[in-house]
Structure 1
Amino acid sequence: MGENKSVGKRWEDMETDVLVKIFKQLNMIELGPVSQVCRSWCLACSDPLIWNALDFGLLKSNFIQTRASPYIWVDDWSDRRLTQLLRVAMGISRGNVACMIFHFNLYMKDEHLTYISERSPHLKRLVMPAWNRITKNGICQAIRRWSELESMTMPTIAHPPYIMEEIGKNCKNFSELKIMGSFDAQFATAIAAHLPNLKVLSLRCSRVAKEAILYLLNCLEHLEVLNIAHCMLFDGPMLHPGRRQSLRELDHTVHEKAARLREFYHCQSLSCIACQRMIADEGLMRWYRYEECFWRQDEISSLDLGDYGKLFDAKCETNARERPPLRRDREIRL
């Protein structure tokens, strides 16, 4: 046996590139114990190729809506589960996360956001959950740590200027923004003042004031791509329902202003599933009512999140038809 014993490589001596290719097939839950096998496996599990995107898209809070601020109650189990998963992910990734995705209905707190921002300094793309339990101080401190941030998807917020100001001051390469909820003149003014170099903007499935769209098209000289598909457009003050009018067709003035854009997406059709949902929800989409991946979709390819990532093994089912090739000005039909 001593002389004829065959000599082969041990698992821990495998090339790092090979290990990385293998470990990319695992989800985050499986990577935890794998990273503890040996030093070489631990290093391979932390490779940036594995952690380019950290997708928590299936993770939602157990919540109840309330009438008092923050208008949401979340059970302790949801908070503990999120804390545990963040510790595992941040520990293994070692600061290599470039894109982080959260579900719209995951209600994290300041302590969660602080933990993430301190351990993901090279974040470039962020998909935020709802703001209810996050304070002004919490989000501002996080943005200051993300100097490399280039793209953000965010729910609507009551007072947006301070967030736009923080992004403008600290994230010099920021160029993409997606807003889900409500978009008025105040929001448009904040973007024009603090993000003058914005190139891509999506307001898909939001309640939008026509004056806000026209203002941005006039002010944002570098804007190249705009998506207002399935939006409820209003003419008049959004804060005064009695004085505003819902627009059934896209105003010709918007078409004229958007003619200079490289890509312009719009859809207001009673035969469109997404538009029907917007009408049923009175312009404020109740994302929890629909299939899991509906909130992840976008006609702008760089903002579309596609199928779920690898936190859990799951497939995203959708009723949307396959998209046709890109055109500069496209009316969307689902």
Structure 2
Amino acid sequence: MENEDIRKWENLDIDVLVKIFQTFDIHGKTSGLGHICRTWRDAACDPMLWHTLDLSTVSSNFIRIQVEPYAYVGEQSDKELTKLLKISLNLSRGSVKTLIFNVNLYVNDSQLTYTAERCPNLKHLVLPAWNRIKETVICKAISIWTDLESLTMASVLNPPYLMEQISQHCKNFSELKIMGPCDISFVQTLIRCVPKLKVLSLRCSLVYLDALLLILDGLENLEVLNISHCIIGDALPTPATTNVVEKLDASVIKKSKRLREFYTCMDATCIMCQRTRDDEGLLRWYRYEEGLWKEDEVKSLAV
């Protein structure tokens, strides 16, 4: 005689299923849960699972090359990422608000376009690798992400087009993290395009002293600034000829007093400071501990 007290998996309460699925990584969430039965499908599509689409553990199969885009990605790797994005974004049904890409995940134009169109409510974007993305494509994505508030991006040489797009379309934009050198021309672009910026992180980068002073003077709404483990250089144009400032001078300290939070570390014995100097202000994250690139002294920018 069949035991009627035995509960079947498909009859498990959907809230319980969602809690279980929340413990899965991106590979677990996209492993075919929705094909078991209707209840599992509903649970797999629950918005609570997809407020954050975390691809920080997914890397491209690539080799570094000497010409643009400086990384060659294997065809199979692209296919696998495209499949992962299609499954994830189909299940998420537009509920993704935070999107995190790995520092070694080289997204191409079609992948970014597909993602942008299916994440119209995005607020937080972590995209550290831009090698394969055209200007027109990232601009189109920004025009879709009108709710964007926070961006972590690779260092690119004064991309006014990007900040201009953010200025035009993202009225609530307030947090920015740059993973690479920052010069005065880029700061001038920030002041012109995103004057209401509240949080800025430049950690583990080369920051020129004149740019730092301009940040403190020109970004009047800035509340939080992170220059931990940075090389603070004089105004000379290239890292090879930059004279490193060993200690912040009185003018910088005085101007920083107005900030709510000001993070610095210029300790010669600090491992991260040493690494920044070794890499001349553009950290080669693949040399170091896995996941180290996710860290930030500013909690809202840590992944």
Q: TM-score range by the shorter chain?
A: over 0.9
**Secondary structure in structure 1 of the residue aligned to 2:196:** coil
Alignment match, 1:168: 167
Instruction: Calculate the TM-score normalised by the size of structure 1.
Output: 0.86
Alignment match, 2:204: 205
Look up the equivalent residue of 1:89 and give its one-letter code.
Answer: S
**C-alpha distance in 2 between matches for 1:30 and 1:73:** 28
**C-alpha distance in 2 between matches for 1:6 and 1:43:** 25
Greater RCO between the two (CA within 8 Å, min separation 6)?
1
**Secondary structure in structure 1 of the residue aligned to 2:189:** helix
Closer/same/farther in 2, CA of residues 273 and 5 from structure 1, 3 Å limit: closer
Alignment of 1:216 onto 2:209: no
Look up the equivalent residue of 1:127 and give its one-letter code.
Answer: V
State the shift of 1:184 in Å. Answer: 0.4
Alignment match, 2:247: 249
**Secondary structure in structure 1 of the residue aligned to 2:226:** strand
Alignment match, 1:136: 135
5+ residue gaps in structure 2? none
Alignment match, 1:70: 69
**C-alpha distance in 2 between matches for 1:79 and 1:249:** 45
**C-alpha distance in 1 between matches for 2:154 and 2:84:** 23
Alignment of 1:266 onto 2:264: yes
**Secondary structure in structure 2 of the residue aligned to 1:90:** helix
Look up the equivalent residue of 2:177 and give its one-letter code.
Answer: K
State the shift of 1:146 in Å. Answer: 0.7
**C-alpha distance in 1 between matches for 2:171 and 2:118:** 20
Matches within 5 A, 1:46-85: 46-85=45-84
* Alignment size in residue pairs: 302
Closer/same/farther in 2, CA of residues 9 and 260 from structure 1, 3 Å limit: same
**C-alpha distance in 2 between matches for 1:143 and 1:298:** 24
1:280-315 C-alpha deviation (Å, 9 max, x unpaired): 11222111100011110000111111xxxxxxxxxx
**C-alpha distance in 2 between matches for 1:304 and 1:35:** 31
Alignment match, 2:18: 20
**C-alpha distance in 1 between matches for 2:281 and 2:88:** 36
**Secondary structure in structure 1 of the residue aligned to 2:190:** helix
Matches within 5 A, 1:244-323: 244-305=242-303
**C-alpha distance in 2 between matches for 1:19 and 1:40:** 9
Alignment match, 1:113: 112
Matches within 5 A, 1:23-34: 23-32=21-30, 33-34=32-33
1:83-110 C-alpha deviation (Å, 9 max, x unpaired): 1211121121111111111111211111
State the shift of 1:125 in Å. Answer: 0.8
Q: Do the aligned residues in 2 keep the contact of 1:209 with 1:238 (CA within 8 Å)?
A: no
1:45-91 C-alpha deviation (Å, 9 max, x unpaired): 11121112111112222322222222222221221221121112112
Flag the structure with higher helix content.
2
State the shift of 1:199 in Å. Answer: 0.7
Q: Do the aligned residues in 2 keep the contact of 1:200 with 1:223 (CA within 8 Å)?
A: yes
**Secondary structure in structure 2 of the residue aligned to 1:162:** helix
**C-alpha distance in 2 between matches for 1:262 and 1:74:** 42
Look up the equivalent residue of 2:182 and give its one-letter code.
Answer: F
RMSD: 1.8
Q: Do the aligned residues in 1 keep the contact of 2:158 with 2:189 (CA within 8 Å)?
A: no
1:1-29 C-alpha deviation (Å, 9 max, x unpaired): 5xx96367654444332221122122332
* Comparing 189-198 and 19-28, the one that deviates more: 19-28
State the shift of 1:177 in Å. Answer: 0.4
**C-alpha distance in 1 between matches for 2:60 and 2:36:** 32
1:95-147 C-alpha deviation (Å, 9 max, x unpaired): 11111111112111111100110111111111103111111001001111111
**Secondary structure in structure 2 of the residue aligned to 1:261:** coil
* Comparing 142-151 and 21-30, the one that deviates more: 21-30
**C-alpha distance in 1 between matches for 2:23 and 2:240:** 51
**C-alpha distance in 1 between matches for 2:80 and 2:141:** 21
Alignment of 1:238 onto 2:237: yes
**Secondary structure in structure 1 of the residue aligned to 2:299:** coil
Look up the equivalent residue of 1:210 and give its one-letter code.
Answer: L
Q: Do the aligned residues in 2 keep the contact of 1:46 with 1:96 (CA within 8 Å)?
A: no
State the shift of 1:30 in Å. Answer: 2.5
Q: Which runs of 4+ in 1 moved over 6 A?
A: none
Q: Do the aligned residues in 2 keep the contact of 1:174 with 1:198 (CA within 8 Å)?
A: yes
Closer/same/farther in 2, CA of residues 5 and 82 from structure 1, 3 Å limit: closer
**C-alpha distance in 2 between matches for 1:5 and 1:234:** 75
1:167-211 C-alpha deviation (Å, 9 max, x unpaired): 111111111100001100111011111111111100000111111
**C-alpha distance in 1 between matches for 2:239 and 2:125:** 33
